[in-house]
Structure 1
Amino acid sequence: MAPTGQKLQVLDALDTAKTQWYHFTAIIIAGMGFFTDAYDLFCISLVTKLLGRIYYHVDGAPKPGTLPPNVSAAVNGVAFCGTLSGQLFFGWLGDKLGRKKVYGMTLMLMVLCSIGSGLSFGHNPKSVMATLCFFRFWLGFGIGGDYPLSATIMSEYANKKTRGAFIAAVFAMQGFGILAGGIFAIIISAVFMARFNAPPYEVDPVGSTVPECDYIWRIILVVGALPAALTYYWRMKMPETARYTALVAKNAKQAASDMSKVLQVEIEAEQHKIDRITAAQENSGDACSKGSSFGLFSSEFIRRHGLHLVGTTTTWFLLDIAFYSQNLFQKDIFSAIGWIPAAKTMSALQEVFRIARAQTLIALFSTVPGYWFTVALIDRMGRFRIQLLGFFFMTVFMFALAIPYDHWTHKENRIGFVVMYSLTFFFANFGPNATTFVVPAEIFPARLRSTCHGISAASGKLGAIVGAFGFLYLAQNQDKAKADAGYPAGIGVKNSLIVLGFVNLLGMLFTFLVPESKGKSLEEMSGENDEENGGDAVEAVH
């Protein structure tokens, strides 16, 4: 580690700062992007069945219409493709142009495309779905940019003592987004049911779909623009992070000025230290470009951070296979075990109400508490332990649901299934879903931090795509013999749960490649302190 005298005063001030009001405002400002992210990505699962009823119902057919498999896959998966692209592009751009310059672009893209998704137009089902997919791709593109930028900004603003809790709190806003999506869907469907004299708990055997249902899914999607729009002004007022300004842009005066206002203390600019560090880097034998001692994927990067990047990408990839397939297809699992009645026994409004109610209960009692357990304990237990613990219990509960699956499909055992299923969400969020977001923002150098976080996050979204399309394929491969025997669920759901159990087991193993960053400064973790003295990077150990 560099001697105390070598460390920039502005970075030391950030590392040792007491928790202040600006920390909480930064959490809200950055977290609103994730609130919108979760609302927009997960609310689509509330309306896909509604889209099938409205646009793919055949007159005279005994059952309500459903989205064709290829259309369902496109509507569910296209936002993930956009998110993956946005994570890579904006992650790279955040290191090139600065965090703040790019931050507003992602939010405005989210606002415009949320509105566009709700206003999807067309004269036939194909054109409506094509327009919806177009806007959801670019919505995902904006959401993707928020991942590396929000994580990097929060990590570079936070002190080292509570940095994990602050970054996790930003990500925990996802839980409130999922909850808000469910609650709003409950409210809007109840309002429409009251309007058409269909009480929420009344079963409608006709399976009707009133024309006004076309408004419901559009309203749900458009409302997702509000939280992002409300925080745009405050994002634009945030100063650039001192670590980018000082270590990447090499402007010590501006960094000291910005953080003096934020921390409300006098900070010396120390441009002479920046100049000395820059000169040492430029004279380094491994220099790839002016102002950087090594570049992304250079031999030196691979030596110092190669295994770290493998660890963050593989664990996020494996986690998202399980996490997103669970979230997107809750409604199918709940229908399979009989917790939600068959679609033909309900009106379209009642179906939206019941699906939203089930997802909201899961979010309220397992998803949201899981996020905030991580916030409370991450700087005490450490990232490694929480991630390992989460993957372990997700594995246990997946196998406990899958192996005796026939037992759970009986009516008297459904509550037990829902409880155990909800525990997988709890340990996903009090576990790898939070830590895979936190760690990449802490362990890489400032000049590559946003890019490496974007690569790690994009790997996760690749896993989400695998989970979304893979689960759809397995869940549709139903065992006809069991269906004929009177079971409401088929082998597709069981096979999916078994596969997800093994995926979580692999996540446990790859967690051992991820370093522990609890209580260490960003420069200590990335090795930037040692670059100043020409030494080797700090080796982070568990």
Structure 2
Amino acid sequence: MAKEQLQVLNALDVAKTQWYHFTAIVIAGMGFFTDAYDLFCVSLVTKLLGRIYYHVDGAAKPGTLPPNVSAAVNGVAFCGTLAGQLFFGWLGDKMGRKRVYGMTLMVMVICSVASGLSFGKEPKAVMATLCFFRFWLGFGIGGDYPLSATIMSEYANKKTRGAFIAAVFAMQGFGILAGGMVAIIISATFKAKFDAPAYEIDPVASTVPEADLVWRIIVMFGALPAALTYYWRMKMPETARYTALVAKNAKQAASDMSKVLQVEIEAEQEKIEQLGQEPANSFGLFSKQFLRRHGLHLLGTTSTWFLLDIAFYSQNLFQKDIFSAIGWIPPAKTMNAIEEVYKIARAQTLIALCSTVPGYWFTVAFIDRIGRFAIQLMGFFFMTVFMFALAIPYHHWTLKDNRIGFVVMYSLTFFFANFGPNATTFVVPAEIFPARLRSTCHGISAASGKAGAIVGAFGFLYAAQNQDKTKTDAGYPAGIGVKNSLIVLGVVNFLGMMFTFLVPESKGKSLEEMSGENEEEIGTGVESEHQAGHNRTFPV
């Protein structure tokens, strides 16, 4: 049976949308802006790294990164992110959201700069240094996932909570867009120098010192937005739900939220202590009670995020190779290294502007109207449809007259990834678990997603390269290799749609209703909201 809600939590649940909500979105969102920039900017310069460090003197073909080096450069940050999500997610429940929040940001700033300063006498040494710093960059990025989601969910009101959390995540779209725009500006600046008669170079080799400077500037730029938000992160008060339900400090929670909401809130220390003694608020992560109450929920959030990230990160990291395979980006031998960066960045920026960014904000607009479940199911469904539509008649799309159609359909898969599971898998784990385990469970769910990203970054690169010996100029597969990869991604999206049925709908409910923290006991004849979630008919 549910008990009366704490006044401080009820005040947060029913609060009207205020300036502090938007402030929290920007502060938390800039972390995700940086996350996306840092994770995806490397795909813009991967080919450039090959032409700088692995060119063959006198060869007619530009250099490319060896498959193992390319996989490491693209995927090592995901390994760090996975570790960071687990570690900082757990730490956020132990030490508090705010105390850990600043740590993750500083790790991101330092390692972003250090990645651009990667050094070594031999190409292998430079790549090893870059991979080392990108691992720790990913470690800091990983902490941002559970902390940003948890902080925003615990600050928001229940009416618009989904939109606020989704808006934080939507800043990822602007980070991807910014990565492309920065790469365009930097490469265009140096490209203009190459076009001048005094800087004429061999368009094939193009391993001039300026090319080495280009990728370093692009990689280091990601430190700037993160550094600018550090001060504001440190000024944010700890969330009331952590202070009241985990730290058991009613006075501090009431004081903090009185300032934020600008209303008088009573400190209810006795009620907090009573809540802490209830069985519903004492079980741990590895207990039978957690397994019974939230086991299927955790399976649902981990499995759907894992499957989604296999497809999403594969598409993002290797879209440059798909564009080369269908001929949308010219062969490498026809342009110098800087020009190639420019054309890759321009193609990826167009995709981000027309499909990725709008998809995120469609989710923000509709998530509290049609619900998390409907958006996630719809997103997986259309991703499946478009993947198969690209894969089955693949050779039709590679014909010159059909390339625009391929790009349009490929863009739609990004749109429905973001107006779909890429946003909802981030939102839901921050809403359905108890406060004392919320950051940990979100970290576990997010880490499962990054395991999927690692499969995408490492597995699909090798699978595609080994399936077909016919390569494009860039060394990536044309024909059957790309086709089979798209088919596999379609199957992955279909499985994601099936596992979505394990995830409960949290639209319009308080965090305590979803987690069962406000119940007097477990096992009463009254079925709780979160238990009913297992048998609920979901509105679509």
**TM-score after normalising by structure 2:** 0.95
SS in structure 2 at match of 1:260: helix
The 5 A counterparts of 1:112-261 are 112-197=110-195, 206=204, 208-261=206-259
Work out whether 1:306 is the aligned partner of 2:304: no
- How far apart in 2 are the matches of 1:309 and 1:466? 21
CA contact (8 A) 2:469 2:477 kept: no
Other-structure match for 1:33: 31
- How far apart in 2 are the matches of 1:247 and 1:205? 63
CA contact (8 A) 2:51 2:205 kept: no
Other-structure match for 2:390: 401
- How far apart in 2 are the matches of 1:105 and 1:187? 31
Work out whether 1:87 is the aligned partner of 2:85: yes
- How far apart in 1 are the matches of 2:96 and 2:371? 29
Other-structure match for 1:296: 285
Q: Which runs of 5+ in 2 are unaligned?
A: none
Per mean C-alpha deviation after superposition, the further-off stretch among 495-504 and 529-538 is 529-538
Letter in 2 for 1:479: D
Give, in angstroms, the shift of residue 138 of structure 1. 0.3
How many equivalent pairs are there?
527
- How far apart in 1 are the matches of 2:457 and 2:352? 19
- How far apart in 2 are the matches of 1:275 and 1:40? 43
CA contact (8 A) 1:107 1:232 kept: yes
CA contact (8 A) 1:207 1:343 kept: no
TM-superposition CA deviations, 1:407-465 (whole Å, max 9, x none):
00000000000000000000000000000000000000000000000000000000000
Other-structure match for 2:104: 106
Work out whether 1:530 is the aligned partner of 2:528: no
SS in structure 1 at match of 2:518: helix
**TM-score after normalising by structure 1:** 0.95
Q: Quick one: structure 1 residues 457 and 491, their matched pair in 2 at CA, closer, same or farther if it must change by over 3 Å?
A: same
Other-structure match for 2:18: 20
Other-structure match for 1:76: 74
- How far apart in 2 are the matches of 1:481 and 1:130? 29
TM-superposition CA deviations, 1:189-233 (whole Å, max 9, x none):
00001122269xx99854523221000010011110000000000
CA contact (8 A) 1:340 1:355 kept: yes
Superposed CA RMSD in Å reads 1.9
CA contact (8 A) 1:207 1:346 kept: no
Other-structure match for 1:493: 482
Other-structure match for 1:479: 468
- How far apart in 2 are the matches of 1:303 and 1:23? 34
- How far apart in 1 are the matches of 2:428 and 2:516? 15
CA contact (8 A) 1:311 1:513 kept: yes
Per mean C-alpha deviation after superposition, the further-off stretch among 487-496 and 323-332 is 487-496
Q: 1:508 aligns with which of 497, 522, 528?
A: 497
Letter in 2 for 1:209: T
Work out whether 1:338 is the aligned partner of 2:327: yes
SS in structure 1 at match of 2:209: coil
Letter in 2 for 1:163: R
Other-structure match for 2:442: 453
Other-structure match for 2:317: 328
- How far apart in 1 are the matches of 2:471 and 2:195? 37
Other-structure match for 1:469: 458
Other-structure match for 2:336: 347
- How far apart in 1 are the matches of 2:139 and 2:252? 31
Q: Quick one: structure 1 residues 236 and 322, their matched pair in 2 at CA, closer, same or farther if it must change by over 3 Å?
A: same
Task: Percent identity, please.
Answer: 85
SS in structure 2 at match of 1:339: coil
Other-structure match for 1:263: 261
- How far apart in 2 are the matches of 1:251 and 1:532? 22
Q: Quick one: structure 1 residues 16 and 204, their matched pair in 2 at CA, closer, same or farther if it must change by over 3 Å?
A: farther
SS in structure 2 at match of 1:477: helix
- How far apart in 2 are the matches of 1:481 and 1:100? 52
- How far apart in 1 are the matches of 2:162 and 2:40? 25
Give, in angstroms, the shift of residue 537 of structure 1. 4.1
Work out whether 1:520 is the aligned partner of 2:509: yes
Work out whether 1:2 is the aligned partner of 2:5: no
CA contact (8 A) 1:247 1:446 kept: yes
Give, in angstroms, the shift of residue 399 of structure 1. 0.1
